[in-house]
Amino acid sequence: MSRENVLLLKIAFFLSLLVSVCCLYEDQIGKFDWRRSFVGKLQDGFFDSVGNDLILMTSEEGVVAGLSAKTGDILWRQVLEKSPRGDIKHAAFYMDTQSVTPQSTLLTVSGQTPTLIRGWNPTEGFLMWEWSLTSHYPDRDDLWFSENLMLYHVIPFWDSHIELTQYYASTGQQLKPGSSKISAAWIKKGKCVLAVPFFVCAIETQVIGVNLISENGQIFSKTLLKPAQSAPRIIPGLRATILVNDEVINLEDSGFSLKMLPNSRWFVSEVENRQVFLQSVVEDKNLNILATDLSTGESLNDIGMTIPLPDALGTPTIKAVKCRRKTESQPLACRILLDTDDSSVILLQQGKIKWTREESLAHVVAVEMVDLPLSDAEGAIEDEFNSKDGDFFGAIARRLTTQVHQAKNIFLTVLGLGSLSTSSNVDLLVRDSFGLHKMIVILTSSGKLFGIDNISGKVHWTKFLPEIEKFTENQSMKLLVQRTAKHFPHPAQYAVIGKQRDSRNGIIYQFNPVTGEPIQNGFVHLSHGIQQVSVLNEEESGNFLRAILILDENNQAHVLPESGQNQADGMFLYTVKTTGEVTGYHIEATNKDIKSRLIWNLNLSGGSNAQVIQVAGKNPIEHVHSQGRVLSDRSVLYKYVNPNLIAIATFSLDAIHKYVINVHLIDVVSGYIVQSLTHRRAKGPLHMVHSENWLVYSYYNDKVRRTEITTIELYEGKIQTNSTVWSSLTTPPVPKIERQSYIIPANVFAMKETITEKGITNKDVLIGLSTGAIVEMPWALLDPRRPVTTTQNQAREEGVIPYIPELPLPSEQVINYNQSIARIRGIYTAPSGLESTCLVIAHGLDMFVTRVAPSKTFDLLKEDFDYFLISIVLLGLTVASYVVKHLASRKAIKQAWK
């Protein structure tokens, strides 16, 4: 082969390696967005025994991770399957010294039918081995424990026997064929615990246990002085020991005694070949950790410590301890890993908090954004305009004083003796010109509040509310906006509403969302439960505060504060129960009395076992800019824009169609069912977005095994009934329904529409996928009016694309590019001061904050705008206009003299 042919082949080979890619400019990455990663509430923690500065942990979110002991950063993270398949039932860290090359392993047992047993490399986080086990009793409560490289599977058959199976941990090979059956007719559900290696039950005045790994099935029995009040408890890290009626019982007759402090939490760790009993107790905002040698009962002051505990942290629990000496002459240095009630993870080192991870942000239940307050200068201007005393000369004096102060600040800044901003706000938390800088207020499932800067991601304040908990298992706490930051000088006011811990009554916490400070002592304890809650539409005159309307369990209405009771008159309230019962109420209020009147009731279950799985209303701050849609014949099709319309989805089992999803559109003022849709052979997860005159929801089509998205649009017709005020009390028009379904080639985890201040910008639908991507789907692709067959007239219709069943997912529509978000749970959108820009917060195991512009940034100059060139052009045009004007006047004079 000639040299020319070889050169041509090389060129062709290198050209074949070139591919077309879509990407962001490097200077755009991280400029308008940021991401934070979490692991979830700590379940089990281990210090790497090899000597690496590594902390291994598993979380209740089904995550296995390795953290840096120096900084707390995530070195590696493995996200297991979704619950219940990814629920971690057992975790252990051990060193396999019997192999040719000793290797440390992190073992996890997760899921059920099949149960997956995995071994992870602790340094790199990769999977070393895996085996599965299919249980023959999927509905049974099973327990696991590991010892001496063996894994034990315990299945209790209540009131009968215990089945025990032993496996080699790394291979899954059974030590003995089949399972061992241990006769134990005394075991009762809810009264037993696994205290390795014993299975123990406390039944009335008897404590009975059996040694699971002994050959003869050793039985332990003891008589109590009084009946057991609850199931036995174990002390983490201590073998064969239980706690019954505050009495420590050792099942192996080891010679030690424990002195339990009241309200303390315990842990046992091995330090320098001796077992150390640690107790943690919080007193006077200090965390006291007391250490005792179990064998001698001696207090170990070099391990115990006292540190101040920040108010924003809950009561801690010890999860792991590691102590060592650099040399024999140096004192013992200990690291203690803590988990708190607010889901934070803390590392203590040498009597100080080395770092803290806010893992409660892995389970967000409510998000709101608040505008930042005005600067001092802007606040002074607002004071001038808000002055209503009519003092003309006083206004002039205030104006002159303000300008003198501004000139003074500029002069001092030029000399380097001062700053332009005299604001007392921390970190320049003041409102910007375009309304892009805001405070993110987040409420988590543990009852913790966060104030986070949406530009930098910095946590400005935190507040833990241990008194508040969620209403029910499926109904979380609520975060309500009572007053925004737009009413200077009144500060913004938000409220958290939930249920009092250990009580059925409601509780409200009111606070300033910018500073996190409580308002009027913060807590308001109610003497009744809460069935439904809403913020009133009208504000109180003078303070611009929106009162909270509460419907209690007895269908009685309450308003807080009571001064806003008049604003509740004429309001309509609705409740939706999981059983399918939907009820509407009318509120009648005066200065002295308020009551609710039942006006309608619906039962959506249809006599079957249908359960409500989703309720979607419209965003209360939404603005509808266009009331109609221009058709191909230039006529207008008016939208059915009913602000009282909600969508309720129910799921039921059917003998013929297996699964059935029904979607109902209901006017909650009149109880009128506007439309009902049925999807057979369909099941969840179902996600729904309701806005303007359209509804979008996703579901899993079990018949063809794929995820589908259905879109609905409602129109009044070509004649609009009322262009100014909507009333649900008059006979509503029957809307025309446009409906279409699409296939999306991914599993949907969350959906949300974009929103802007005036509603002029086009609306896109943000779709969170199982891959961790967030796709910005234009409404033109979801439009239910996309024609299947395109005619010449329909082709002229604005914004209509021919129908294609599959929705495209191009990479340029992924707003988080390569910043994948694990387990997306929700997406929150908020308007900015720019009409073109929408602020977006996506939360799950990760949190991602960015901004999107569905119609591009039509009201903002580009970053590379050439200000110098446009200034030169404007200056040249100005000079040219004066020159031309002079020449034109001279020419006119010459023409006049001719």
> What pLDDT score does 454 carry?
93
- pLDDT higher than 90, residue 513: yes
What is the DSSP track for 731-793? Answer: -----EEEEEEEE-SS-EEEEEE---SSS-SPPEEEEEETTS-EEEEEHHHH-TT--SS--HH
Q: What is the pLDDT of residue 257?
A: 74
274-310 tens-digit pLDDT: 899 999 999 988 999 999 998 888 888 889 899 999 9
Query: What value does the mean pLDDT take over residues 334-357?
Result: 94
Which residues, including other chains, have CB under 8 Å from residue 4's CB and lie 6 or more apart?
none
> Using one digit for the tens of pLDDT, what is the confidence trace for 396-423?
777 777 778 777 777 776 666 655 444 3
Query: To which residue do tokens 């895996």 refer?
Result: 130
Average pLDDT value over all residues in the chain = 88
Residue 400: CB atoms within 10 A of its CB come to 10
Tens digits of per-residue pLDDT, 116-167? Answer: 999 999 999 999 999 999 877 777 889 999 998 999 999 999 999 999 999 9
pLDDT value at 540 more than 80:
yes
Q: Which of 723, 494, 757 is nearest to 621 (CA)?
A: 757
Mean pLDDT of 689-699: 96
Distances (CA, A) of 728 to 583, 640, 641, 663: 16, 12, 11, 20
Quick: pLDDT tens for 72-111: 999 999 999 988 899 999 999 998 776 666 789 999 999 9
> Helix, strand, or coil here: 872?
helix
* pLDDT tier at 426, thresholds 50, 70, 90: very low
| Orientation angle between helical segments 392-414 and 376-386, nearest 10 degrees | 170
pLDDT at residue 859, as a whole number: 86
3-state secondary structure of 15: helix
Take residue 517 and report the two structure tokens written for it: 């400070």
Q: Please check the confidence at residue 427 and state whether its pLDDT lies above 60.
A: no
pLDDT average, residue stretch 315-324 = 93
Closest CA to 46 of 97, 107, 101, 102: 107
CB 529 within 8 A of CB 508: no
Whole-number CA gyration radius for the chain? 33
| Residue-level pLDDT at 656 | 80
Q: Which residue(s) pair with 499 in the sheet?
A: 469, 506
Establish how many alpha carbons lie within 13 A of residue 787's alpha carbon, considering only the half-sphere containing its beta carbon: 14
pLDDT of residue 737: 93
Could you report the per-residue pLDDT of 582-607, keeping only the tens digit for each?
Answer: 999 999 988 788 999 999 999 998 77
The Cα 605–Cα 582 span in angstroms is 10
Does pLDDT of 224 surpass 80?
Answer: yes
pLDDT tens for each residue of 16-62: 655 545 555 555 677 889 999 999 999 999 998 776 789 999 999 99
Q: Rounded mean pLDDT of 871-890?
A: 94
What DSSP line would sit under 632-663, residue for residue? TTS-EEEE---TTEEEEEEEEEETTTEEEEEE
Count of helices and strands (H, E) across the chain = 6, 59
Task: Say whether 171 sits in a helix, a strand or coil.
Answer: coil
Q: Mark out the alpha helices in 270-340 (DSSP H runs).
A: none
Considering only 204-218, 489-503, 812-826, which range has the smallest mean pLDDT?
A: 204-218
Q: What confidence tens digit (pLDDT) does each residue in 466-496 have? A: 999 999 888 999 999 999 988 888 899 999 9
Under the banding of pLDDT at 50, 70 and 90, the label for residue 331 is confident
Question: Coil, helix or strand for 724?
Answer: coil
> Token digits for 40?
């979830």
Mean pLDDT for the stretch of residues 510-529: 93
| Strand partners for 839 | 830, 851
Please count the other Cβ atoms lying within 10 Å of the Cβ belonging to residue 246: 9
Both structure tokens of 831: 């308007």
The token pair that represents 726 in the structure block = 């909507």
Q: Is 70 exceeded by the pLDDT of residue 378?
A: no
Across the range 873-888, mean pLDDT stands at: 94
Is 603:581 a contact under the CB 8 Å cutoff? yes
pLDDT on residue 633: 79
